[in-house]
C-alpha cells in the first residue's frame, strides 16, 4: 500500500478542494456483478445500451454511473428489477427522484437535456419515477478495475457503513480522483469527499439530513466547474456557512491558470474569489500504475466580499 496513488497523495498532503467530478445531474442505474474499467460498456449491462446511454448524455450536464449494493457481488447477469436514481445538484433547485425498472432500455426514453436543466418530467414519464422518500444517498467508489485504491479502500468503507446500519449506501463505478480514495459522493446536494472514513461519512449524512454541508474533507459540489468548487468552499470557510443551498457560483471570469469567481448568497451578499491553477509537486501518479505527473490543483488566492454596486462598476 505504501506506493499506491492514494497513499502518496495523503503523505504529500495534496489538497482535495476543487477536485470533484462535474455534473449538474447524476443518473444512477443499479447493475450487480463485476464492473470493468469503463463500466457502462464493460459490465453485465448490454454494452450496446451502455454506448447508447453515453451518447445520449453527452453534453447534457448528466453524468451516468452504475451502482450496486455493498458486499459480495454475485455474478448475476439479469437482475429482475433495478433501482434507478436521478439527482439534480444545483443549489436552489436540488432534488432526488427514484424508480424501479425491469427494462433498462427505457432509460433511452429520457430527455437528457431536460434532466441536465433540472426538469425531471421525462423520468416520471419513462420510468414512473417519483421523489425519493428516503434519506440521502452515500455513493462510495469501489471500481478496482479503474484503480486498485478504489477497491482496497472503497469496498471496506462501503461494507462497514452498510454493516453499521447506515441507510442509502451504494457502491458506484467512478467518481474521479482515485488518489483521494476512498471517495464519496453524497446526493442530493452533490458534494464529494476524499479520504473518507466511516465516522466522517456518518457526520456528512447526518448534516445532509438537516440540509447542512460538512466542509472538512470536501472536494466540492459537482454542480460547479473546478474553480467554482474551490471558490464556493473558500467562502463557506471564510464566513462559516454550512447551509447546503444558500451559495451559488454565478459567474466565472478568466481562464486557466487564473480565474475570478463570483459567489452569491441568497441573502444578497457576494464575494469575488481569486483562484489560481497550480501544479502539485513533487510529481506523483494520478492513479496507480500511471506515470509520474503534477496534477492540477485549485489554489484560492483571495476572498473579498463586494457590493452589487462594486460589481456593476
Cell triple for residue 288? Answer: 496507480
Considering the domain boundaries, does residue 252 fall inside one?
Answer: no
Report the DSSP beta bridge partners of residue 172: 67, 141
Spatial CB neighbours of 43, under 8 Å, sequence gap ≥ 6: 31, 33, 34, 35, 36, 50, 66
Q: Which of 62, 190, 172 is nearest to 182 (CA)?
A: 172
Considering the domain boundaries, does residue 270 fall inside one?
Answer: no
| Residue 189's CATH number | 3.40.30.10
pTM: 0.94
Q: What is d(CA 31, CA 40) in angstroms, rounded to the nearest whole number?
A: 9
- Its domain, for residue 136, covers 1-224
pLDDT value, residue 3: 80
Considering the domain boundaries, does residue 186 fall inside one?
Answer: yes
pLDDT value, residue 312: 60
What are 82-106's pLDDT values in tens digits? 999 999 999 999 999 999 999 999 9
Considering the domain boundaries, does residue 298 fall inside one?
Answer: no
User: Are 229 and 219 a contacting pair, CB within 8 Å?
Assistant: yes
Considering the domain boundaries, does residue 287 fall inside one?
Answer: no
Give the chain's domain count: 1
Cα 266 vs. chain centroid, distance in angstroms?
A: 23
Q: Which of 19, 12, 14, 9 is nearest to 230 (CA)?
A: 19
pLDDT value, residue 71: 79
pLDDT value, residue 79: 73
| DSSP secondary structure string for all residues of 94-135 | -EEEEEEES-GGGGGGS-HHHHHHT--HHHHHHH--EE--S-
Q: What is d(CA 67, CA 73) in angstroms, rounded to the nearest whole number?
A: 12
Considering the domain boundaries, does residue 209 fall inside one?
Answer: yes
Considering the domain boundaries, does residue 119 fall inside one?
Answer: yes
Considering the domain boundaries, does residue 231 fall inside one?
Answer: no
* pLDDT, one tens digit for every residue, the chain (313 residues): 458 999 989 999 999 999 999 999 999 999 999 999 999 999 999 999 999 999 999 999 999 999 999 977 656 666 789 999 999 999 999 999 999 999 999 999 999 999 999 999 999 999 999 999 999 999 999 998 888 899 999 999 999 999 999 999 999 999 988 899 999 999 999 999 999 999 999 999 999 999 999 999 999 999 999 999 999 999 999 999 999 999 999 999 999 999 999 999 999 999 999 999 999 999 888 888 888 889 999 999 999 999 865 666 5
pLDDT value, residue 192: 98
Please give the DSSP secondary-structure letter assigned to residue 179.
G
Please give the DSSP secondary-structure letter assigned to residue 20.
P
Question: Which H/E stretch holds residue 309?
Answer: helix 308-312
Amino acid at each position: 500500500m505504501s506506493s499506491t496513488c492514494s497513499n502518496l497523495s495523503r503523505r504529500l498532503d495534496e489538497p482535495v478542494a476543487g477536485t470533484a467530478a462535474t455534473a449538474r445531474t447524476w443518473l444512477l442505474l443499479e447493475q450487480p456483478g463485476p464492473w470493468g474499467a469503463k463500466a457502462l460498456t464493460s459490465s453485465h449491462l448490454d454494452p450496446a445500451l451502455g454506448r447508447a446511454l453515453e451518447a445520449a448524455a453527452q453534453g447534457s450536464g448528466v453524468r451516468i454511473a452504475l451502482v450496486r449494493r455493498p458486499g459480495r457481488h454475485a455474478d448475476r447477469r439479469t437482475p429482475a428489477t433495478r433501482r434507478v436514481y436521478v439527482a439534480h445538484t444545483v443549489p436552489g433547485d436540488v432534488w432526488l427522484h427514484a424508480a424501479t425498472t425491469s427494462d433498462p432500455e427505457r432509460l433511452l426514453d429520457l430527455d437528457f437535456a431536460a434532466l441536465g436543466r433540472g426538469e425531471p418530467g421525462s423520468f416520471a414519464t419513462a420510468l414512473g419515477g417519483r421523489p425519493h422518500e428516503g434519506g440521502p444517498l452515500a455513493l462510495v467508489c469501489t471500481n478496482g478495475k479503474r484503480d486498485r485504491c478504489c477497491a482496497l479502500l472503497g469496498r471496506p468503507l462501503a461494507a462497514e457503513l452498510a454493516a453499521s446500519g447506515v441507510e442509502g449506501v451504494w457502491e458506484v463505478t467512478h467518481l474521479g480522483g482515485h488518489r483521494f480514495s476512498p471517495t464519496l459522493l453524497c446526493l442530493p446536494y452533490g458534494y464529494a469527499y476524499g479520504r473518507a472514513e466511516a465516522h466522517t461519512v456518518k457526520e456528512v449524512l447526518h448534516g445532509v439530513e438537516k440540509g447542512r454541508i460538512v466542509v472538512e474533507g470536501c472536494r466540492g459540489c459537482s454542480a460547479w466547474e473546478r474553480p467554482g468548487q474551490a471558490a464556493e468552499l473558500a467562502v463557506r470557510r471564510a464566513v462559516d456557512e454550512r447551509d447546503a443551498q444558500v451559495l451559488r457560483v454565478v459567474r466565472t471570469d478568466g481562464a486557466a491558470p487564473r480565474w475570478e469567481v463570483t459567489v452569491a448568497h441568497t441573502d444578497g451578499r457576494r464575494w469575488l474569489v481569486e483562484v489560481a491553477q497550480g501544479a502539485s509537486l513533487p510529481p506523483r501518479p494520478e492513479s496507480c500504475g500511471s506515470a509520474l505527473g503534477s496534477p492540477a490543483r485549485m489554489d484560492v488566492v483571495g476572498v473579498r466580499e463586494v457590493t452589487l454596486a462594486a460589481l456593476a462598476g
